[in-house]
Amino acid sequence: MSSTNIPNEMLCATLPGNSTARLEKRPVPVPGHGEVLLRVKASTICGSDIRCIYREHLGKGPEGYQPGMIAGHEPCGQIVKAGPGCRRFKEGDRVIVYHISGCGVCNDCRRGYMISCTSEKFRRAYGWQRDGGMAEYLLAEEKDLVALPDSLSYADGAQVACGFGTVYEGLERIGISGNHAVLITGLGPVGLASATLVRKLGARQVIGVEFLEERINIAKGLVLDGKPLFDHVLKSGDANVAEIRALTGGFGTERTVECSANAAARATAIRATRKWGKMVMLGEGGSFSLNPSPDMLHDFKELVGSWVTSLWKMEELVERLVHWNLHPDMLITHRFPLEKVDEAYALMASGKCGKVAVCFDEELK
């Protein structure tokens, strides 16, 4: 599609906070200086959309949804119009959008971590404080874009910014190699993405823990490079620490990725981590009780927190996805047209699914 046939009006969806998604018609925005207009091709739903916006508007600050904003912070699409002053990207380019537009000049933005931008005035996340990807078109800033390689689909790209990027950052913080048995607690989209990336980073054993039967079945059915993605998927329960030790020669896992945000699963995660092991916390919200001496100190364990990722790491991840022939769209279990966005959010809220995507054009298969 070229700039000559961009319509004046577009369909888009907002989240009123009463467990529905509302369809509306809005004018198609016109890109200003340093901005581009994307034809959205894929827009995936994140756990945080459900946690902070869909049922109720709960978030504050960076997680505060401005009522009436077009939802969706995991967009991927093609540039149909570039505004004046763009320096790299142009009409026709396929791009991923880093989901927070930062001020660009604070220390965090200069590190590429716009997620942590300290400017209250200029930090605006797509789908939260500025319009997001649940629309036929999206206005984005050129500085927030990452090029999408030809061998990756738009549905692959949609998951890079928030989901896979967040996981990649966390895994880089604890380091994963072929020496490691890895435990992943919580097998929603972030947990499943963790499993694919630890496999590609060489992990010798991957163990998952999950509570929901539907997610256990999805995890058990996933195959990567002709082999099951997980060596073992355990139903969450009181016996998990003993079970994980039994599966790892009595030791526990050298690396653990906590994606559930559930108190019991977090306790399992730290206790099932091997002496001298490392654990990263990615699951958002909630709390858990930790007994520092037996759980950590005496066993020399490291516990690391990680939030989203930086622009350069996103670019690095995209390059590695190509080298690894890893396609994040393998985790998408359901695709919906924008007209059925309400169904898409309801399914994601039920948890009875893998990744849920709203798709357009060639991605709607």
For binding to Zn ion (CB under 5 A), which residues are involved? 46, 48, 102-103, 106, 109, 117, 119, 162
Q: Which residue is nearest to Zn ion (CB)?
A: 46
Tell me the backbone φ, ψ of residue 23, rounded to 5 degrees.
Answer: -85, 140
CB 59 within 8 A of CB 52: yes
Minimum CB separation of residue 190 from Zn ion in Å reads 9
Minimum CB separation of residue 272 from Zn ion in Å reads 26
CA 8, 143, 86: angle at the middle one, nearest 5? 60
Please identify, using beta-carbon distances, which residue of 46 and 195 lies nearer to Zn ion: 46
CA distances from 69 to 38, 122, 319, 336 (A): 17, 16, 32, 20
- Which of 127, 143, 168, 151 is closest to 44 using CA atoms? 127
Residue 41 tokens read as: 């091709």
Number of alpha helices (DSSP H) and beta strands (DSSP E) in the chain: 11, 19
Minimum CB separation of residue 156 from Zn ion in Å reads 16
Q: Are strands 355-359 and 223-224 parallel, antiparallel or unpaired?
A: unpaired
Please identify, using beta-carbon distances, which residue of 234 and 308 lies nearer to Zn ion: 308
Q: Which residues pair with 40 in a beta bridge?
A: 77
Q: Which residue has the tokens 């912070």?
A: 73
Please identify, using beta-carbon distances, which residue of 102 and 354 lies nearer to Zn ion: 102
Please identify, using beta-carbon distances, which residue of 101 and 253 lies nearer to Zn ion: 101
- HEC assignment per residue over 306-340: CCCCCHHHHHHHHHHHHHHCCCHHHHEEEEECHHH
Please identify, using beta-carbon distances, which residue of 167 and 201 lies nearer to Zn ion: 167
- Which of 188, 132, 185 is closest to 163 using CA atoms? 188
Minimum CB separation of residue 122 from Zn ion in Å reads 7
Please identify, using beta-carbon distances, which residue of 109 and 198 lies nearer to Zn ion: 109
The CA distance from 279 to 71, in Å, is 32
DSSP letters, 17-83, are SSS--EEEEEEPP---TTEEEEEEEEEE--HHHIIIIISS----GGG---TT-B--S-EEEEEEEE-
Minimum CB separation of residue 282 from Zn ion in Å reads 11
Please identify, using beta-carbon distances, which residue of 292 and 351 lies nearer to Zn ion: 351
Minimum CB separation of residue 9 from Zn ion in Å reads 28
Minimum CB separation of residue 116 from Zn ion in Å reads 8
Minimum CB separation of residue 18 from Zn ion in Å reads 21
Please identify, using beta-carbon distances, which residue of 132 and 208 lies nearer to Zn ion: 132
